[in-house]
Chains A and B, each alone.
Chain A
Amino acid sequence: MSLEGQHPVNLNTLYQQVILDHYKKPRNKGELLVDPVFGKHLHNPTCGDDIEVTVNLDAEGKIEDVKWNGRGCSISMASASMMSIALRGKTPNEAKSMMTAFYGMMKGEAGTYKSLGELQALSGVSKFPVRIKCATLAWHCVEEGMKEREEIDNKGGSANG
């Protein structure tokens, strides 16, 4: 199905095919990890978006699995779906740089975002300021979940939190 050309130009900037694809067929969505290394549930009251992300690390400390669930607009759902794929195999530090790059792209900062792969499809969101919160909600889940995990670990708390 080719929607390009039939629909207003702006719409195709915001909603690239890959976004609609992830929205209709979200990856890693549904059941959450039972005993994740870290995770977070966040809610954006202004639009009602609601996302929970859970993350497991493998023996080497790399992200092994990202599972998420939630409801929201196509932008927030697609962003969570693409993120869940992109983060796999990354170390927490690599995940953090990816996060920084993603936030930079959302703010419309100049730069190349090749490292973000298909997430670059979300670059159009930077032109729709009210939607930036939608696109970043899942990322904030990972960011805050990771931070909480680090705080617990730094205090020497038990690994199972």
Chain B
Amino acid sequence: MTLDVARIRQDFPILHQEMNGHPLVYLDNAATTQKPRQVIQALVDYYEGYNANVHRGIHTLAERATEGFEGARVKIARFIGSPTPEQVVFTRNGSEGLNIVAYGWARRRLGPGDVIITSGMEHHSNLIPWQQTALATGATLKFIDLDQDGTLNQESYDRLLSEGGVKLVAFSVASNVLGTINPVTDMVAKAHAAGAKVALDAVQAVPHMPVDVKAWDADFISVAGHKMLGPTGTGFLWGKMDLLEEMEPTYFGGSMISEVHLSGAKWADVPAKFEAGTPNIADFIAFGAAVDYLSAIGMENVYKHEKALTEYAWQKLHAIEGMRTFGPRQPRAGLISFDVEGIHPHDMSAVLNEYGVAIRVGHHCAQPLMEILDVPATNRASFYIYNTMEEVDRLVDALLHAKEFFGYVA
């Protein structure tokens, strides 16, 4: 294996505990990842050493806080290959970035006759903002067909583009349920050729693979910091500068203005324009520490490690009778959703939990996808840098216990 997992695990205090008498096996990383000591320490250092508001005071503490906060932006920009740090707009989570695009761009540019293309594999975060935009503007929402293997049907996509009127294409780089990795550069190029802008939900991609936003060439990209070792309450929207500049802000108030009169106001430059009010200063500084941590490991190594785990898990899971997995074998993100015949995911999770294994069960904020797959819910195991092959074995053992416990109900 390319990562020194044993050493990495030492950085994650939370992993060293027992759950119901068993060592904790945390396989719910697609929901949120654990945080290394370095990230937790960054929070402590800030609050103990230089807590102050940013962009306001001219005293030393305020300067240091601002430096830390803006330093995080620089780190993140470098991490994703952004031409400038200013194109990284801080948000609270993955959902907020897509909403900023919906409110600040789509609602102002779309009207009746215009088309938004998305897909049935999307997280609610990348569906409902567009449903609402369509409702508000009279635009039409169209969906790319999903193939049996959980990939987007490219002919269907071509057809929708050729029907005309497309102003926006919104899809996920990696599906949080199917694990599918969509052909981003290709799909973006086709959208641009059709005159549409592209918003990417990269929430399940940026934490797990090397990313260069210039290569993707999308117009907007939303990412969640808490799914890549950062604290909750962090995320960012990346955008092309000209679009961010012409967009309207979503929230108004302090910090987002350049000039205010009783009769009106002018907005600050990007990104401040989008960041009204006091931000999660400590959390973004710690998000910067998370990016440092991942950069030191190397995203190519992160990707290889997850791929090895996922391949191993795929083989082990498929050796279990009554097992059904969702989505393609490869390429896939470091997660596997599955169903075991006769055992409802809620029951599965309850049994696994008793063996210390934490997985996510339910609809994964993708109810339309559950309908398409015709399942009420699925189980999902999702991996990260600190997971091991032994933990995959523990998952499989616990699954076998669950099967034995519930017997076989056909």
A: residues with CB less than 8 A from B are: 1, 3, 7-8, 10-11, 14-15, 20, 23-24, 45-50, 71-75, 128, 131, 134
Contacts and interface: CB of A to CB of B under 8 A. Distances in A.
Given A3-B405, A46-B363, A128 B376 contact: no
B405 A48 contact: no
B367 interface: yes
A48 B377 contact: yes
Interface string B371-410: 0000111000000000000000000000001001111010
B408 to A, nearest CB: 9
Contacts of B20: 8, 10
Contacts of B346: 47, 73, 75, 131, 134
11 contacts: A3-B404, A11-B405, A20-B406, A24-B409, A45-B363, A46-B362, A47-B346, A47-B363, A47-B377, A48-B370, A134-B346
A8 B355 contact: yes
A48 B347 contact: no
Given A73-B347, A128-B350, A134-B346, A7 B375 contact: no
A72 B21 contact: no
Contacts of B344: 72-74
Interface of B: 20-21, 344-347, 350-351, 354-355, 361-363, 367, 370, 375-377, 401, 404-407, 409
B407 A24 contact: yes
B354 A15 contact: no
A48 B375 contact: yes
Contacts of A15: 347, 350, 405
Interface core residue of A14, A73, A128 (most chain B CB under 10 Å)? A73
Contacts of A23: 406, 409
B356 to A, nearest CB: 10
